[in-house]
């Protein structure tokens, strides 16, 4: 592949106690990597299976289990999926076999019902799932049979954009209400926090320092365009915390009392560039630089570029990651897994069939595609840490 001619500068500034060891906790002294997101970096082609493990799960298809395959959560035993359309359906599949176990729908206007599914957190230890409905500013808790257990509101004035499982008693969430304060001083509010699984109360604030609010949206009259910048990125037993108003990404772990700086971007203006974290391994740190620019007439904007810091080479690249089983590009930026799962992708049955008929598949993926038809549910590619 053709490489870009200009190589941007990778600045290294000393930061005591950073412990740059990927997802793993460390109290060692190391350096804080600072990325120039407006620089041009050379391409680096990589094979996914050289540094990650891959698992394929074909979702069972029958009259009851027909889904567009929008994955909400992947646990050790179950995969939870919904449709892209707002029909309220929640599908639970077996993680190992892909067999459909049950379909749940609690959408409605009642006290035990959600209006929209923005996200689902799976807690297999307690046989519970937490359904986040932003429009209602509420989280509904059901068992995995679909029985209502309890609900709790987002804290007053807050809007939970992202919610993940933290530990047996708490969720970790991000309050996107800060986006409505564009250009204002930060104040003393924390937008990252731990909340109780029992009643939703804040059990610990996680303050990320910044001065002035820089929101990832652009407004033109009544029209608003919002960029997708992940504020929480799970990584094994740690979480990377991103605040669009800050140039620093922080790592937070249960054994830390405070978030620790992990990496930073050089300050940007005209336009502002946001940094969103992707998959992080002990060697590779994948991320996206997103431009705060949007054309409302063309309905296009927020151009992004993938970046990857290679700790071993101490260099930044524009990564091209290919799946060895189909030679297709792999997205290591857009979706966040949890626990052993780094990320995942939805592989549509019709495209797999085309690739199979053209002799483009290998290994387990080829075996699975041989048993599909055009009406089959998607195959979920689960990408796991080594």
pLDDT digits (tens, 9 = 90+) for 17-67: 344 567 765 544 457 899 999 999 999 999 999 999 999 999 999 999 999
Whether 356 is in a domain gets the answer yes
| Residue 255: pLDDT band with limits 50, 70, 90 | confident
> The domain containing residue 349 runs over which residues?
10-62+214-384
Mean confidence (pLDDT) of the chain: 92
pLDDT at 21: 61
Whether 127 is in a domain gets the answer no
Mean pLDDT within 85-105: 96
Q: Give yes or no for residue 299 having a pLDDT over 90.
A: yes
C-alpha 208/C-alpha 369 separation (Å) is: 46
Q: Are 55 and 98 in contact (CB under 8 A)?
A: no
Tens digits of residue pLDDT in 316-337: 999 999 999 999 999 999 999 9
Whether 75 is in a domain gets the answer no
pLDDT at 25: 57
End-to-end Cα separation, the chain, in angstroms: 28
Whether 175 is in a domain gets the answer no
Whether 294 is in a domain gets the answer yes
Whether 359 is in a domain gets the answer yes
Whether 292 is in a domain gets the answer yes
Question: In angstroms, what CA-CA distances link 284 with 52, 310, 321?
Answer: 11, 5, 12
Measured at the CA of 247, the angle between CA 242 and CA 250, to 5 degrees, comes to 40
Q: Which long-range contacts (CB under 8 A, 24 or more apart) does 364-372 make?
A: 364/56, 364/325, 365/56, 365/325, 365/326, 366/325, 368/56, 368/58, 371/58, 372/58
Tens digits of residue pLDDT in 168-182: 999 999 999 999 999
Q: Give yes or no for residue 2 having a pLDDT over 70.
A: no
C-alpha 267/C-alpha 273 separation (Å) is: 8
Total domains in the fold of the chain: 1
C-alpha 171/C-alpha 156 separation (Å) is: 17
Q: CA 210: distance to chain centroid?
A: 23
Q: Give yes or no for residue 301 having a pLDDT over 70.
A: yes
Question: In angstroms, what CA-CA distances link 330 with 17, 229, 343, 347?
Answer: 33, 19, 10, 11
Tens digits of residue pLDDT in 133-181: 999 999 999 999 999 999 999 999 999 999 999 999 999 999 999 999 9
Q: Considering the chain, what percentage of its residues have pLDDT values greater than 90?
A: 87
Whether 315 is in a domain gets the answer yes
Mean pLDDT within 266-278: 95
Query: Each residue of 120-151: b (16+ CB within 10 Å) or e?
Result: bbbbeeeebbbbbbbebbbbbbbebeeeeeeb
- Output Rg (C-alpha) for the chain, integer angstroms: 21
| Residue 13: pLDDT band with limits 50, 70, 90 | very low
Tens digits of residue pLDDT in 284-297: 999 999 999 999 99
pLDDT at 257: 77
Mean pLDDT within 193-204: 97
């Amino acid at each position: 592949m053709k490489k870009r001619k200009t190589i941007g500068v990778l600045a290294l500034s000393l930061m005591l106690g950073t412990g740059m060891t990927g997802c793993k906790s460390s109290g060692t002294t190391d350096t804080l990597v600072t990325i120039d997101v407006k620089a041009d970096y050379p391409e680096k082609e990589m094979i996914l299976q050289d540094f990650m493990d891959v698992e394929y799960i074909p979702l069972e298809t029958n009259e009851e289990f027909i889904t567009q395959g929008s994955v909400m959560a992947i646990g050790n035993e179950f995969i939870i999926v919904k449709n892209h359309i707002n029909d309220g359906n929640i599908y639970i599949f077996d993680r190992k076999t892909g067999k459909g176990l049950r379909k749940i729908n609690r959408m409605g206007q009642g006290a035990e019902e959600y209006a929209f599914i923005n996200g689902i957190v799976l807690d297999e230890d307690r046989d519970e799932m937490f359904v986040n409905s932003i429009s209602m500013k509420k989280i509904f808790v059901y068992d995995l049979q679909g029985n209502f257990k309890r609900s709790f509101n987002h804290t007053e004035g807050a809007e939970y954009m992202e919610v993940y499982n933290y530990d047996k008693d708490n969720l970790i969430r991000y309050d996107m209400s800060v986006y409505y304060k564009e250009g204002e001083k930060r104040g003393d509010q924390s937008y990252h926090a731990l909340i109780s699984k029992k009643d939703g109360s804040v059990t610990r604030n996680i303050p990320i320092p910044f001065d002035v609010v820089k929101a990832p949206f652009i407004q033109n009259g009544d029209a608003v365009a919002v960029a997708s910048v992940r504020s929480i990125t799970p990584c094994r037993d740690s979480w990377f915390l991103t605040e669009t108003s800050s140039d620093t990404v922080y790592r937070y772990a249960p054994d830390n009392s405070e978030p620790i700086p992990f990496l930073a971007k050089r300050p940007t203006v005209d336009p502002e560039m946001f940094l969103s974290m992707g998959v992080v391994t002990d060697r590779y740190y994948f991320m996206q630089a997103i431009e705060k620019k949007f054309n409302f007439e063309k309905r296009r904007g927020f151009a992004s570029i993938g970046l990857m810091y290679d700790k071993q080479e101490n260099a930044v690249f524009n990564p091209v990651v290919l799946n060895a089983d189909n030679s297709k590009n792999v997205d290591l930026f857009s979706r966040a897994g949890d626990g052993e799962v780094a990320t995942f992708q939805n592989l549509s049955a019709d495209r797999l069939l085309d690739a199979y008929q053209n002799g483009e598949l290998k290994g387990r993926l080829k075996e699975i595609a041989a048993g599909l038809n055009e009406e089959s549910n998607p195959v979920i590619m689960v990408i796991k840490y080594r």
